[in-house]
């Protein structure tokens, strides 16, 4: 039974260099939706560094073989099989010409060459190129590409590929052609082509060395009015990489293309980035402040890959974090600089808080489950399953630690050396670490463990004050991640631990470690924890201080310290490190909410510590803090995060606890919420600046609290007025969410007609804007349950709405993922109805798009951590899926979950 066998596992340790090299590639496409003909001419030679191989294995999938020629003559030593071609009788150097067909219109996987809205697109990372033609489809084979595209001129007026346009012109029978050349060697995963009815916003800019560059953002004609922000983001990204890293754009033209059917966010193909429309299209009417910020980040991310990923690429896919961790770090720094510049710590902190929140909620969870893996994984069955939070977000934290250890200047020296050594090469994470070590004359052998050990380390902190000696000692003890994730042989890591000490007035103390002649100028000290346990002694401390630990989240670890509630309230009010002010509030809130959730789980009455309300009130009223910061500080930890912290995850109890706190805060601060709402209106024309976005966020948080009052009449009035008057999507969507929430929580049908009228209006208004209709689906899928009407019923009804389409990943995510991954209290219904729905959808998606199916499959992976009833339901659903799915992608996920 071939179907039931487990997928083959690939190991990092098995890497061997390629036996053949491909110097140049000439690709010739006759584009047709049903059957495209691809002729590929490869100039190849044997790799002088590798013992000669008898045969050449080329990867190919879902291809129809036509012919093979060696040096222009038909070649017959060719075996065609399911995974590609095996060729024999090959000389040392040769030209191989392969002709075949692929079937873009039938391709629902969105990997390889496919059709979306009648246009052609490609997606080749990680292993999609083999679905276009036979090739050594691995990142350490780098070649120069020339690409000729031929197609019907009316149906496909625009023909794009990587690099520079060499020539274009008409052909007989209403067809035309374009020929492109990419002057840089690249691996096959960076190949791209686009063909169809598209239009572009164009700009010409000069790079630092004076060269003129053509920038284009290509979209469908009706979307041209939503391209300005993406273009501005691209221009900012180009400038930023020049100033911060001295890295210039190396091509004459740089293109971004938006496509509505796309598996992920965007793709960094050389000179021809292809984007999910979600990360390109924005105007104030259709996109929220978050959308605007995400577009800037993703445009930056893909652009920055041009150096970190393309000019220097990965030797093999185990090194994925070499490009992804580094590029995420670069896009995080770009966004922080754009929001606050280099010298505005408070503005930078809001970005840092958002990034850490994602890391803790998503990556820490990954590290605690069956998919836990090191930043540089040791093995995989399907590489697409390893584009993970660990590789991306923890990988970015690992890169950030170099900067924390060496400073910005030292980090820059390391980057310069990395490019000096490796430009044009396919390299490993070790090569990056070596460049950082050599540029800063440091031995970073121990630091390698951050790449090889999985699990979230814990740092237990204990402190001791010796009043007589005026000494304060801080003991840091590191423990490896949870047993499920961490191998028994975990060794101590080099942990940069930033710390400050705060006196009774809230001022930072000067820091002098034992043995040092005087205190350092900086009141934040980066301690280097290298042993399992170390004690750091500070001298000249005249009174008991409060420690501010792991400032700016200087390492991806969990810090355990026995803070009192008073300590936390004090730090929330006074810490000079804005990240740790937020952190103190989160600790306070998490503690209170977990106590309540455990009480709710056993049906005990709920009481909220008044000190929590007091600390919260102080933040809300502290107008010296930016609205953006206050909104982040006042946002309670998510239900998902809280459930994960419980001894046994109980989403219903968490929901009950969190709602109890929200209602309590709504009541206790009723007048403050009202005032906050009024004070943070943003009259005048919409501006997407961080300041204005912060005000809208705080105002809309206030509105959502007012909606929790027993009498929501005022919230209903405000939300309706805000919905009607909104000139931007942030305010309109927030008003709609509030109306839905009021209707859902009322027991007597109050607000029902208002909510459904607004939903109908929203749909009609934005019927022709797919990204907004995604929001319409998502808002309904994430709503809280109403008495007697579970959200799953609404979701099932929406599945048969004419606008629903399982083949479009954005749409599938907006309804199915929103329900399964962002509405825990409803999804984890005790009757198992959510799990049955999940199984149905994973199975349906598996047949269409394995990559998307595998992402959905991951929403049950933490099943062992839940209460017994839920655990049993989840296991049954996982077992059902395991027997029915076919893709390597989903099999790997469910098999790991069940093992």
Measured distance CA(278)–CA(287) in Å, rounded: 9
Binders of Zn ion in range 675-734 (CB under 5 A): none
Q: Which does 431 bind (CB under 5 to 8 A by kind): ligand TRP, Zn ion, none?
A: none
If you search the block for the tokens 């090469």, which residue do you land on?
425
Is there binding between residue 737 and ligand TRP (CB under 6 A)?
Answer: no
The tokens describing 321, both together, are: 């974090």
Q: Which does 594 bind (CB under 5 to 8 A by kind): ligand TRP, Zn ion, none?
A: none
Shorter beta-carbon distance to ligand TRP: residue 267 or 459? 267
Binding mask 74-113 for ligand TRP (x = CB under 6 A): ----------------------------------------
Q: Which does 387 bind (CB under 5 to 8 A by kind): ligand TRP, Zn ion, none?
A: ligand TRP
Active site residue 89: no
DSSP state of 49: T
DSSP per position, 594-658: HHHHHHHHTTPPP---HHHHHHHHHHHH-TTS-HHHHHHHHSPPPHHHHHHHSSSB-HHHHHHHH
Binders of Zn ion in range 291-350 (CB under 5 A): 324, 327
CB of 248: closest distance to ligand TRP in angstroms?
20
Shorter beta-carbon distance to Zn ion: residue 318 or 406? 318
CB of 335: closest distance to Zn ion in angstroms?
14
Q: Provide the 3-class DSSP secondary structure of residue 51.
A: coil
Binders of ligand TRP in range 146-185 (CB under 6 A): none
Shorter beta-carbon distance to Zn ion: residue 326 or 646? 326
Shorter beta-carbon distance to ligand TRP: residue 302 or 731? 302
Q: Between helices 833-848 and 868-884, what is the axis angle to 10°?
A: 20
Q: Which does 552 bind (CB under 5 to 8 A by kind): ligand TRP, Zn ion, none?
A: none
CB of 774: closest distance to ligand TRP in angstroms?
17
CB of 151: closest distance to Zn ion in angstroms?
30
Which of 76-84, 97-105, 120-128, 251-259 is the region at the interface with ligand TRP (rule: CB under 6 A)? 120-128
DSSP per position, 160-219: EESSEEEEEEEETTTEEEEEEEEEEEE-GGG--EEEES-EEEEEEEE-TTS-EEEEEEEE
Shorter beta-carbon distance to Zn ion: residue 324 or 708? 324
Is there binding between residue 268 and ligand TRP (CB under 6 A)?
Answer: yes
What dihedral angle (degrees, nearest 10) is formed by the CA atoms of 490, 491, 494, 498? Answer: 60
Measured distance CA(386)–CA(379) in Å, rounded: 10
Q: Which does 264 bind (CB under 5 to 8 A by kind): ligand TRP, Zn ion, none?
A: ligand TRP
CB of 158: closest distance to ligand TRP in angstroms?
21
Binding mask 774-803 for ligand TRP (x = CB under 6 A): ------------------------------
Binders of ligand TRP in range 245-264 (CB under 6 A): 263-264
Is there binding between residue 267 and ligand TRP (CB under 6 A)?
Answer: yes
Q: What is the size of the binding site for ligand TRP (CB under 6 A)? A: 12
CB of 199: closest distance to ligand TRP in angstroms?
23
Shorter beta-carbon distance to Zn ion: residue 306 or 626? 306
CB of 62: closest distance to ligand TRP in angstroms?
17
CB of 267: closest distance to ligand TRP in angstroms?
4
Shorter beta-carbon distance to ligand TRP: residue 195 or 320? 320
Closest CA relative to residue 317, chosen from 187, 421, 134: 187
Is there binding between residue 296 and ligand TRP (CB under 6 A)?
Answer: no
**Regarding beta strands 112-116 and 119-123, do their DSSP bridges make them parallel or antiparallel, or are they unpaired?**
antiparallel
Q: Which does 350 bind (CB under 5 to 8 A by kind): Zn ion, ligand TRP, none?
A: none
Shorter beta-carbon distance to ligand TRP: residue 386 or 411? 386
Are 803 and 761 in contact by the 8 Å Cβ rule? The answer is no
DSSP state of 251: S
The tokens describing 220, both together, are: 């469908």
- Up-side HSE of residue 618: CA atoms within 13 Å toward CB? 15
Measured distance CA(194)–CA(213) in Å, rounded: 20
Shorter beta-carbon distance to ligand TRP: residue 227 or 310? 310
Measured distance CA(617)–CA(369) in Å, rounded: 37
Q: Pick one of 291, 302, 316, 575: the residue that binds ligand TRP (CB under 6 A).
A: 302
Contacts (Cβ under 8 Å, ≥6 apart) of 628: 347, 350, 690, 691, 693, 694, 697, 698
DSSP per position, 653-693: HHHHHHHHHHHHHHHHTHHHHHHHHHHT---SS----HHHH
DSSP-assigned beta bridge partners for residue 81: 84
CB of 322: closest distance to Zn ion in angstroms?
11
Shorter beta-carbon distance to ligand TRP: residue 327 or 434? 327
Q: Pick one of 28, 125, 241, 774: the residue that binds ligand TRP (CB under 6 A).
A: 125
Binders of ligand TRP in range 381-400 (CB under 6 A): 387
Are 381 and 9 in contact by the 8 Å Cβ rule? The answer is yes
Closest CA relative to residue 732, chosen from 741, 740, 723: 723
Measured distance CA(369)–CA(363) in Å, rounded: 10
The residue from 61, 127, 220, 302 that is catalytic is 302
Q: Which does 841 bind (CB under 5 to 8 A by kind): Zn ion, ligand TRP, none?
A: none
CB of 112: closest distance to ligand TRP in angstroms?
11
Are 703 and 735 in contact by the 8 Å Cβ rule? The answer is yes
Measured distance CA(629)–CA(632) in Å, rounded: 5
DSSP state of 769: -
CB of 109: closest distance to ligand TRP in angstroms?
10
Shorter beta-carbon distance to Zn ion: residue 324 or 774? 324
Q: How would you class 598 by CB atoms within 10 Å of its CB: exposed for 0-12, middle for 13-18, buried for 19 or more?
A: middle
Binders of ligand TRP in range 355-374 (CB under 6 A): none
Measured distance CA(801)–CA(300) in Å, rounded: 36
Shorter beta-carbon distance to Zn ion: residue 288 or 327? 327
Measured distance CA(705)–CA(235) in Å, rounded: 39
Is there binding between residue 289 and ligand TRP (CB under 6 A)?
Answer: no
Tell me which H or E stretch contains 67: strand 64-70
- Counted residue by residue, the chain has a size of 899
Closest CA relative to residue 419, chosen from 433, 402, 432: 432
Cα-Cα end-to-end distance for the chain: 20
Q: Pick one of 87, 160, 257, 266: the residue that binds ligand TRP (CB under 6 A).
A: 266
Nearest residue to ligand TRP, using CB?
A: 264
Q: Which does 333 bind (CB under 5 to 8 A by kind): ligand TRP, Zn ion, none?
A: none
Are 641 and 361 in contact by the 8 Å Cβ rule? The answer is yes
Q: Which does 581 bind (CB under 5 to 8 A by kind): Zn ion, ligand TRP, none?
A: none
Footprint on this chain of Zn ion (rule: CB under 5 A): 324, 327
Footprint on this chain of ligand TRP (rule: CB under 6 A): 123, 125-126, 263-264, 266-268, 301-302, 324, 387
Catalytic positions: 302
């Amino acid at each position: 039974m071939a179907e039931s066998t487990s997928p083959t596992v690939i190991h990092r340790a098995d890497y061997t260099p390629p036996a053949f090299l491909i110097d140049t590639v000439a690709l010739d496409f006759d584009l047709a939706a049903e059957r495209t003909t691809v002729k590929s001419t490869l100039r190849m030679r044997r790799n002088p560094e590798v013992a000669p191989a008898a045969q050449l294995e080329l990867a190919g999938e879902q291809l129809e073989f036509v012919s093979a020629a060696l040096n222009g003559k038909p070649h017959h030593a060719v075996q065609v099989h399911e995974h590609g071609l095996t060729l024999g009788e090959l000389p040392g150097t040769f030209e191989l010409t392969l002709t075949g067909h692929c079937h873009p219109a039938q391709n629902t996987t969105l990997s390889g060459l496919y059709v979306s809205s009648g246009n052609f697109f490609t997606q080749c990372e990680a292993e999609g190129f083999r679905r276009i033609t036979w090739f050594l489809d691995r990142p350490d084979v780098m070649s120069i590409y020339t690409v000729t595209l031929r197609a019907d001129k009316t149906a496909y007026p625009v023909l794009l590929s990587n690099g520079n346009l060499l020539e274009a012109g008409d052909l007989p029978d209403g067809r035309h052609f374009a020929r492109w050349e990419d002057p840089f060697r690249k691996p096959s995963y960076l190949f791209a082509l686009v063909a169809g009815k598209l239009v572009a916003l164009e700009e010409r800019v000069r790079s630092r060395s004076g060269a003129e560059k053509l920038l284009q953002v290509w979209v469908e004609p009706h979307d041209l009015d939503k391209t300005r922000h993406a273009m501005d983001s691209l221009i900012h990204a180009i400038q930023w990489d020049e100033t911060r890293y001295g890295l210039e754009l190396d091509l004459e033209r740089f293109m971004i293309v938006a496509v509505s059917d796309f598996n992920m966010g965007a793709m960094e193909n050389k000179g021809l980035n292809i984007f999910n429309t979600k990360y390109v299209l924005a105007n104030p009417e259709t996109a929220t402040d978050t959308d605007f910020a995400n577009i800037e980040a993703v445009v930056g991310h893909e652009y920055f890959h041009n150096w970190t990923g393309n000019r220097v690429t990965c030797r093999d896919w185990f090194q994925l974090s070499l490009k992804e961790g580094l590029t995420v770090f670069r896009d995080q720094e770009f966004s922080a600089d754009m929001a606050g510049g280099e010298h505005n710590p408070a503005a930078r902190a809001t970005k840092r808080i958002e990034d850490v929140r994602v890391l803790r909620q998503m990556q820490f969870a990954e590290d605690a489950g069956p998919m836990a893996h090191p930043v540089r994984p040791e093995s995989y069955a399907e590489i697409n399953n390893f584009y993970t939070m660990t590789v991306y977000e923890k990988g970015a934290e690992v890169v950030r630690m170099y900067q924390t250890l060496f400073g910005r200047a030292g980090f820059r020296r390391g980057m310069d050396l990395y490019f000096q050594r490796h430009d044009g090469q396919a390299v490993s994470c070790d090569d990056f670490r070596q460049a950082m070590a050599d540029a800063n004359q440091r031995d970073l052998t121990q630091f390698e463990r951050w790449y090889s050990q999985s699990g979230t380390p814990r740092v237990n902190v204990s402190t001791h004050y010796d009043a007589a000696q005026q000494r304060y000692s801080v003991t840091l003890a590191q423990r490896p991640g949870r047993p499920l994730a961490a191998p028994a042989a975990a060794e101590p890591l080099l942990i940069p631990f930033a710390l400050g000490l705060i006196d009774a007035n809230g001022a930072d103390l000067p820091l002098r470690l034992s043995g040092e002649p005087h205190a350092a100028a900086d009141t934040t000290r980066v301690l280097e924890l290298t042993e399992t346990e170390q004690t750091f002694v500070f001298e000249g401390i005249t009174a008991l201080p409060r420690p501010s630990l792991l400032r700016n989240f200087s390492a991806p670890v969990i810090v355990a310290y026995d803070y009192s509630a008073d300590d936390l309230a004090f730090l929330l009010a006074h810490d000079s490190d804005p990240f740790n002010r937020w952190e103190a509030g989160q600790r306070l809130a998490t503690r209170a909410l977990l106590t309540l959730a455990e009480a709710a789980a056993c049906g005990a009455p709920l009481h909220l510590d008044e000190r929590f309300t007091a600390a919260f009130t102080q933040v809300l009223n502290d107008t010296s803090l930016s609205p953006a910061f206050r909104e982040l500080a006042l946002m309670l930890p998510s239900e998902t995060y809280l459930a994960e912290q419980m001894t046994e995850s109980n989403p219903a109890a968490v929901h009950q606890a969190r709602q109890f706190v929200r209602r309590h805060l709504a009541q206790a601060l009723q007048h403050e919420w009202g005032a906050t709402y009024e004070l943070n209106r943003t009259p005048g024309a919409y501006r997407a600046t961080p300041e204005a976005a912060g005000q809208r966020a705080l105002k809309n948080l206030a509105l959502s609290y007012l909606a929790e009052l027993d009498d929501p009449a005022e919230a209903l009035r405000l939300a309706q007025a805000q919905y009607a008057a909104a000139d931007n999507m942030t305010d309109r969507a927030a008003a709609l969410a509030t109306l839905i929430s009021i209707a859902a929580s009322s027991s007597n049908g109050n607000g029902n007609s208002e909510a459904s009228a607004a939903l109908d209006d929203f749909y009609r208004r934005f019927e022709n804007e797919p990204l907004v209709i995604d929001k319409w689906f998502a808002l309904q899928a994430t709503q809280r349950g109403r008495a007697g009407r579970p959200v799953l019923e609404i979701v099932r009804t929406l599945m048969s709405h004419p606008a629903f389409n399982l083949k479009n990943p954005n749409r599938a995510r907006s309804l199915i993922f929103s329900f399964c991954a962002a509405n825990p209290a409803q999804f984890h219904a005790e009757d198992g109805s959510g799990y049955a729905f999940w199984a149905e959808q994973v199975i349906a998606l598996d047949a269409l798009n394995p990559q998307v199916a595998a992402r959905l499959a991951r929403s049950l992976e933490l099943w062992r951590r839940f209460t017994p009833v839920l655990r049993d339901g989840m296991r049954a659903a996982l077992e059902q899926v395991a027997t029915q799915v076919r893709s390597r992608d989903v099999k790997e996920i469910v098999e790991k979950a069940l093992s």
